[in-house]
Amino acid sequence: MTNIKNNPKVYFEQQRLKFTKSLHDVKHKIKRISLLRIIVFLITTIGIYLSVANGHDILAIAFTLGIGLFIYLVKIHAGLEKDRLWNETLVTINKNELRILDGDTIDMDAGSEFLHPSHPYNEDLDVFGDRSLFQLINRTATTTGRSTLAHKLNNLITNINSLVDRQLAISCLRDKADWRQNFLAIGKIFKEKQDDLPGLLAWSQTSDVRFNTMFYRIMLIVNPIIGFGVLTLIELEIFTISTFLIFLLLPVALVGTKLGLLNKIHAQLSKKSGLLSKYAKLFRLIAFEEFNSKLLLKIKENISGEHSAHRAIKSLAKISKSMDYRLNMLVGVFLNVFFLWDIRQAIKIEKWKNRYTTYMENWFDQLSTMDELNSFAGFAFNFPNSTFPEFSTKDFKIRATNVTHPLISQKECIGNDITIDGWKQFQIITGANMAGKSTYLRTVGVNMVLALTGSPVLADSFIMKPVGIFTGIKTTDSIQNGESYFFAELKKLKELINKLEDGQQLFVILDEVLKGTNSADKQKGSMALITQLIKLSSSGMIATHDLALGSLANNFPDNVTNKRFEVEIANKELVFDYKLKNGISQNLNATFLMKKMGITI
């Protein structure tokens, strides 16, 4: 990679400039080729006219050369159009990266369909939706890679060996920025539909092709010989045209009687050559890249070898393209009359399925894994000061220094530390409005999510025992389900208690417990909840405005620690430092803010 691995902004700007120049050059070539095509067309047209008018053989030769040159220029133009699209795509990719580095994710895929209100943490921690972690991370090139990425964010890994393998893979891919951009560009050029790959995998499992028999294989040889033989004999005036009409009965009988089945086979693979070519290119990119990670080498091994994924999918793309020739009626009739074209392709499909069907699902599982790993590698590249966490195998702990939130500008974000050692340990975090309590909770939670996907985290150091995460930050009511805010919160807390009583080990993050009830009831309920959590296999952080909850540290000195965020008033303005401190908050700001806004107190 270049020597700018620690400055992604410089890298993306250089890439943008490079591909912008290439795009300009390609567009200039396209204009020249287009002009040449017009000139050749005009000269050829004049040649046709003069040849017909004067009967000059040399003009007929010029006409033939002109047609050949025109076709050659058309092919060059098609190649240049591919180059144009490639460069345009890479310009867009690098422009998007620069926007994201500046904090603009507004047009990025939000993955909102992966949000689940009943999920333990994804809504509270902004994993999906507008201004979400998914928008920041997702650089997938395939729909299944996108789904796999969402699955990893929603289903955290607690096996340390798996996490370490993923860390090494992400670290390896982080340093392959050019390769990752090529991978993404291939994916962007051909847009997939959500059901494309599932449909392809389902198709590969079907076995309704019945043409790979000795009879049809013989007819594929015999029919062209008879057809062109009859035409030759007609040209020699040995046969008449009626003989050719008799010959037509053979291909019409062979193809026509199976037309329904052939149409069905074609419909399943029709217009799929672009999609298949995309997959083949992605597989090839993986197969020919050098990796130094066990996980990546395993992926490469699974798609290579005797049953090479990229060769197999490329051959299927060719079959699909060949089948689509029948979409041109004149071409389709000619090919089927002389070559039994549809049957020929059906036999190729049957042979392909017999050879490769059993490998398809595994191939695309490997591709999806590589795709989602690329996204995490892009995240690691974009945050050069991030660090890969260490994992503890013993009792629960989380220790981190200078933890920041990836969705907040790193220039503005204030880092904080966290230390919780052992189970049954809770931090009670008090503080005034806007002092930073909720942001701190989300910062810790989001970085734990990142850590448990194998991703680097935004911290100077980070060590934790891999455990599940459960949050209660954004509880909302549901008009549709007839649930009040308070009832919805109780349901979530009940779910938490059930999970813990079932033996799950969880890190709990709660913000302002029991907001939906009166102060006295809330205080009593909050104390009862924390007391119960201490007795179960959990640790965590609970933010509150209720300073009385700080007294729990007196009742449970071995289990509860008080932390606070403070606010100062200087020159009649609120001053926040957003730094976590020991103890119970001393300063409040609600009445000050109300007066500031002109509300009489």
Q: Provide the residue ranges of all domains of the chain, joining segments of one domain with +.
A: 1-102, 187-211+258-382, 390-596
Cα dihedral sign for 94, 98, 99, 105?
positive
Among 268, 253, 139, 140, CA closest to 203: 268
Q: What average pLDDT does this structure show over 55-69?
A: 71
- The pLDDT, as a whole number, for residue 8 is 96
Percent of the chain's residues with pLDDT above 70: 91
Cα 523 to Cα 457: distance, rounded to the nearest angstrom: 35
Q: What average pLDDT does this structure show over 337-363?
A: 93
Cα 23 to Cα 489: distance, rounded to the nearest angstrom: 55
Q: Which two tokens stand for residue 50?
A: 């003069």
pLDDT at 213 over 70: yes
Q: What average pLDDT does this structure show over 331-357?
A: 92
| 178 or 479: which leads in pLDDT | 178
Cα 78 to Cα 84: distance, rounded to the nearest angstrom: 10
Interval 179-206: pLDDT, tens:
999 999 999 999 899 999 999 999 988 8
Runs of H (alpha helix) within 190-293: 196-205, 214-235, 241-256, 259-269, 273-287
- The pLDDT, as a whole number, for residue 1 is 44
Bridge-based pairing state of the strands 506-511 and 538-544: parallel
Among 390, 388, 172, CA closest to 293: 172
pLDDT at 481 over 60: no
Interval 220-233: pLDDT, tens:
999 999 988 888 88
H or E stretch at 164 = helix 160-174
Among 80, 65, 74, 68, CA closest to 37: 74
Interval 105-115: pLDDT, tens:
888 999 999 99
Residue with tokens 């000269």: 43
Interval 381-408: pLDDT, tens:
999 999 999 999 988 999 999 999 999 9
Q: Is 488 exposed, middle or buried (0-12, 13-18, 19+ CB in 10 A)?
A: middle
pLDDT-derived band at 423 (thresholds 50, 70, 90) equals: very high
Q: What average pLDDT does this structure show over 515-533?
A: 81
Backbone phi, psi, residue 570, to 5°: -135, 130
- The pLDDT, as a whole number, for residue 256 is 87
pLDDT at 89 over 90: yes
pLDDT at 478 over 80: no
Among 37, 25, 94, 22, CA closest to 382: 94
| 490 or 151: which leads in pLDDT | 151
Q: What average pLDDT does this structure show over 120-138?
A: 95
Task: Tell which phi-psi region holds residue 482, choosing left (phi > 0), alpha (psi between -120 and 50) or beta.
Answer: left
Please answer whether residues 246 and 381 qualify as being in contact, where contact means their C-beta atoms are separated by less than 8 angstroms. Answer: no
| 575 or 252: which leads in pLDDT | 252
- The pLDDT, as a whole number, for residue 596 is 55
Residue 398 pairs with which residues in a beta bridge?
A: 420, 464
| 281 or 409: which leads in pLDDT | 281
H or E stretch at 449 = helix 437-451
Please answer whether residues 304 and 330 qualify as being in contact, where contact means their C-beta atoms are separated by less than 8 angstroms. Answer: no
The highest-level CATH class for domain 390-596 is: alpha beta
- The pLDDT, as a whole number, for residue 597 is 52
Please answer whether residues 105 and 79 qualify as being in contact, where contact means their C-beta atoms are separated by less than 8 angstroms. Answer: no
Average pLDDT, the chain: 89
CA distances from 4 to 7, 11, 280, 383, 409 (A): 5, 6, 31, 13, 21
**What residues have CB less than 8 Å from 277, skipping those under 6 apart?**
190, 314, 317
- Packing angle of the helix pair 294-303, 341-382 (nearest 10 deg): 170
Maximum mean pLDDT: which of 57-71, 141-155, 326-340, 421-435: 141-155
Q: What average pLDDT does this structure show over 506-531?
A: 83
